[in-house]
Amino acid sequence: MPVLLVRGDREFLVQPGEEMGTDLGVLEVPADVEPGETIETHLEEAFDVRRLRGPDLFHHFERTGAPMVPRDIGLVIGETGISRGDRVLDAGTGTGVLSALMARAGASVVTYERNDEFADVARENMKLGGVADAVDVRTGDLTAEIERLEASSFDVLTLDTGDAAAVVEHAPDVLVDGGFLAVYSPFIESTREVVEAAREAALSNVRTRETIQREMQFDDRGSRPSTAPVGHTGYLTIARNV
Amino acid sequence: MPVLLVRGDREFLVQPGEEMGTDLGVLEVPADVEPGETIETHLEEAFDVRRLRGPDLFHHFERTGAPMVPRDIGLVIGETGISRGDRVLDAGTGTGVLSALMARAGASVVTYERNDEFADVARENMKLGGVADAVDVRTGDLTAEIERLEASSFDVLTLDTGDAAAVVEHAPDVLVDGGFLAVYSPFIESTREVVEAAREAALSNVRTRETIQREMQFDDRGSRPSTAPVGHTGYLTIARNV
Amino acid sequence: MPVLLVRGDREFLVQPGEEMGTDLGVLEVPADVEPGETIETHLEEAFDVRRLRGPDLFHHFERTGAPMVPRDIGLVIGETGISRGDRVLDAGTGTGVLSALMARAGASVVTYERNDEFADVARENMKLGGVADAVDVRTGDLTAEIERLEASSFDVLTLDTGDAAAVVEHAPDVLVDGGFLAVYSPFIESTREVVEAAREAALSNVRTRETIQREMQFDDRGSRPSTAPVGHTGYLTIARNV
Amino acid sequence: MPVLLVRGDREFLVQPGEEMGTDLGVLEVPADVEPGETIETHLEEAFDVRRLRGPDLFHHFERTGAPMVPRDIGLVIGETGISRGDRVLDAGTGTGVLSALMARAGASVVTYERNDEFADVARENMKLGGVADAVDVRTGDLTAEIERLEASSFDVLTLDTGDAAAVVEHAPDVLVDGGFLAVYSPFIESTREVVEAAREAALSNVRTRETIQREMQFDDRGSRPSTAPVGHTGYLTIARNV
């Protein structure tokens, strides 16, 4: 598993056994490196070894677009109950943070990305995040492929694509009984299409929520919501195959 | 692992090998039962076998109070990056849904509940949820116990208690470098105490968010936020031990 | 001007000089009655005389539908700057609370209501509210009539109708230079039509806001937003004829 | 009444009969100038004459601090029903926009400002806004003065000061029966003090609302709330003297 090497503002995501050049000298990362240890460069500059956590991926993954924010990933995980042993089908890989975090929670993920280069970057990100074994990044369009996938072979279907509605109509085929659909969509029109497709496909408990978050301020003058709140990200539609 | 037996509105959470009496006859659950199968009562009434998912726990756990809602659990998991191998320290077990869902995402959880009976119910719930091995429900007060816990032995500290601030001051002792604190608190005054304790304890990136969700309505007249939105649940304060 | 006669839970909206039968006897309201006085029924039961205020109209007007809530009326008045001497063109009179409150702030209002009976009720409501002189309730469809109205003869145009977009295209004709448009619309689709019509008509500063309000709770346990917030009412689109 | 002289981005707030030097020459504003006319500088550069509207005051008033935003002023006006003939007592004049807009809706306002210089600026602003006759800006502290004011001599009491709670306890003395209190306060702690003082003073229907507004975006991709919403301004507490 990859670890973080940290010293002040410097932070490197490295694999055990790897060699990493820094402005403070070369770090030879031992193959048996453990979080909590300290290792030194050849110039005897010390770095702390820290275990990689999910939110760190936002800083260390190469981005091919704006990744879904931790809050929305958390909502997807919470509302669908992602857990060990889950088989997740995903489309719209992008940077791959959602896939990586679901894998870190124990799921095996098959994710489709239309853009060749984005898919390549996502594959590298999965290695960086230590989840290359658990995430199968496929270059392609799930809309075209979904009819070829084995019936009832996924527990959860997560979508972050503009044409999610076209995939949703096949959700009952690929999901197990009791499986969940989660679609993230920034605009109301595409959200409506998703909801209509989910109803048409006879999925249950179809509901869409918009999430508004406000940072709170606590200072000497008192407590209040921030005057600079967090903006809209997207609508999250959840439905269940029951 | 427990499974769900489902027929129409009837839904039972059972262990493989268990016998369960229903109004449609007795179900003998095979020890090797698999989701996707169908089993019959002695009266030949069929039930579908479904894999248990996180959101099902809200319906099947015995409640000793209002459990944290899926959205807030998702936010805790997303903001702290709960994953396989995490060691989580929790206080305010209550019904135990947060502990169970973190365990299902691969964490091992030590959780404190002051109330004897609540702790007993939570232990039963952990068995029901198939996570008794991963969740250690301790009857007691973490505020009193925390100084006795091993230093740097937890990756994440989650709190849902009225006196969370008193625990927060010890967070840097029990958390590893890079570990996360997540505190859920319904009132602004106790939230402020938590924030002040986290700042005092020199935790980093201390921030509190309020989450407002609105159900969206899509019908023949058009699309709009529901006139009956989801209400306030609590403030979520996140901080990091760096 | 009408006044309120109040005694405990009893509250009557009456005109000076009027006679009003109550379960506590007959009230002869003097023609020169003044707020702050007390008057008695023929059975010597006392009622306080209170000046009518805008929010009282919500309770005393006969309703022909859900009137716009005080908050949205306030937003219309605040964003358009309704004041003495304003000439307001309105459509979708309904119960007439918006018209009455703009009149009470000094505007003269021409308002169109398609439904005969609703228009009659609105006229009675204007008398009740003491603004019959300032509000001209016209039975008819502003969409059909607007081309016949005098150019640049209104300072503000307020719309609460399903087909507001069809009126908006004529807004620049009927509004003075610097005049305001305010449209209240519950659904996103009709709101979008309004915005597109306003842009097409070359109105300036076109913007739509959604307003979310949360009641706050202050009790012995602490302070927090209510768990039962105020729901969605409508989108408010404001634009200016400059 | 003052008028606006407008040409492209240039905009001047002037009194009829006034002379105004501009970079395009001198404007002699006729004493009988009327909105809708065009007047020229001595260099024959034309300016349109526009009637002043409430929202214009935000641009033309000299600021001594951040004035209350149009939305909050609208909420105060809507929730208290400000109208012709109202006598309003106000404290925390600041820039004076709230006072001016209430005056423009027909109220006569007595407003207290502790800061000498701010009070002077506010008086100039009232002249600019054409409401100097209707707004009495008093230099002083309402907390100290309120006991000397005539009983039951105001219809509405509006407060935008840090120590509003100390004034609220006297609200029942200065307000008529049925009169309204409106307090604007940015922080939760001072809001709570206001609510407690209002309850203590036996005012009725005491309620506090927080208002969250989101700008909506409509473009070719679709419709959604803005990713940059309007932030927190303040809590508005409304109560009634009944």
D196-235 residue pLDDT tens: 999 999 999 999 998 888 888 888 888 888 876 557 888 9
pLDDT per residue over D127-138, tens digit each?
A: 999 999 999 999
Q: What is the mean pLDDT of the segment spanning C33-62?
A: 95
C188, C210, C224 ranked by CB distance to B232: nearest? C224
Q: What is the pTM of this model?
A: 0.91
pLDDT of residue D39: 96
Instruction: Summarize pLDDT for A146-167 with one digit per residue, the tens.
Output: 999 999 999 999 999 999 999 9
Give the per-residue pLDDT at A214.
84
Helix, coil or strand: residue B13: strand
Chain A positions touching B219 (Cβ under 8 A) are: none
Q: Which of B4, B175, B209, B241 to mutate to test the interface with A (most CBs of A within 10 A)?
A: B209
Distance from the C116 Cα atom to the nearest Cα atom in chain D, whole angstroms = 28
Residue B24: exposure state from Cβ atoms within 10 A (0-12, 13-18, ≥19): middle
- Indicate yes or no: CB of B36 within 8 angstroms of CB of A6: no
Which of D188, D227, D231 is closest, CB to CB, to A222? D188
**Partner C contacted by D235 (CB < 8 A):** yes
The tokens of D8 are what? 């492209």
Q: Neighbours of A (≥3 Cβ pairs closer than 8 A)?
A: B, D
Q: What is the 3-state secondary structure (H, E, C) of chain C?
A: CCEEEEECCEEEEECCCCEEEECCEEEECCCCCCCCCEEEECCCCEEEEEECCHHHHHHHCCCCCCCCCHHHHHHHHHHHCCCCCCEEEEECCCCCHHHHHHHHCCCEEEEEECCHHHHHHHHHHHHHCCCCCCEEEEECCHHHHHHHCCCCCEEEEEECCCCHHHHHCCHHHHEEEEEEEEEEECCHHHHHHHHHHHHHCCCEEEEEEEEEEEEEEEECCEEEECCCCCCCCCEEEEEECC
Percent of chain C at pLDDT exceeding 90: 86
Low-confidence ranges of chain B (pLDDT < 50): none
Q: Along the 242 residues of chain A, how does pLDDT read in single tens digits? A: 899 999 999 999 999 999 999 999 999 999 999 999 999 999 999 999 999 999 999 999 999 988 999 999 999 999 999 999 999 999 999 999 999 999 999 999 999 999 999 999 999 999 999 999 999 999 999 999 999 999 999 999 999 999 999 999 999 999 999 999 999 998 999 999 999 999 999 999 999 998 888 888 888 888 888 876 557 888 999 999 99
Beta C87-91 vs C46-51: how paired, if at all? unpaired
pLDDT tens digit string along C179-204?
999 999 989 999 999 999 999 999 99
Q: Which are the contacts of D9, defined by CB distance < 8 A and separation ≥ 6?
A: none
- Residue D65 CA to residue C3 CA, distance in Å, equals 39
CB contact under 8 A, D225 and A214: no
Residue D36 has pLDDT above 60, yes or no: yes
- Give the model's pLDDT for residue C225: 83
CA separation for the pair D85, C44 (Å, rounded): 31
Q: What is the pLDDT of residue D51?
A: 95
CB D35 to CB C191 under 8 A? no
Q: Which residues of A touch D216 (CB under 8 A)?
A: none
For A188, the closest of D187, D214, D222 (CB atoms) is D222
C199: amino acid identity, one letter: R
Ranking B72-81, B183-192, C166-175, C220-229 by mean pLDDT, the lowest is C220-229
H/E stretch holding D74:
helix D70-80
Chain-chain contact of A225 with D210 (C-beta, under 8 angstroms): yes
Of the listed ranges B19-33, C7-21, C226-240, D97-111, the one predicted with least confidence: C226-240
Rounded Cα distance, C119 and D155, in Å: 31
Which of B187, B225, B232 is closest, CB to CB, to C221? B187
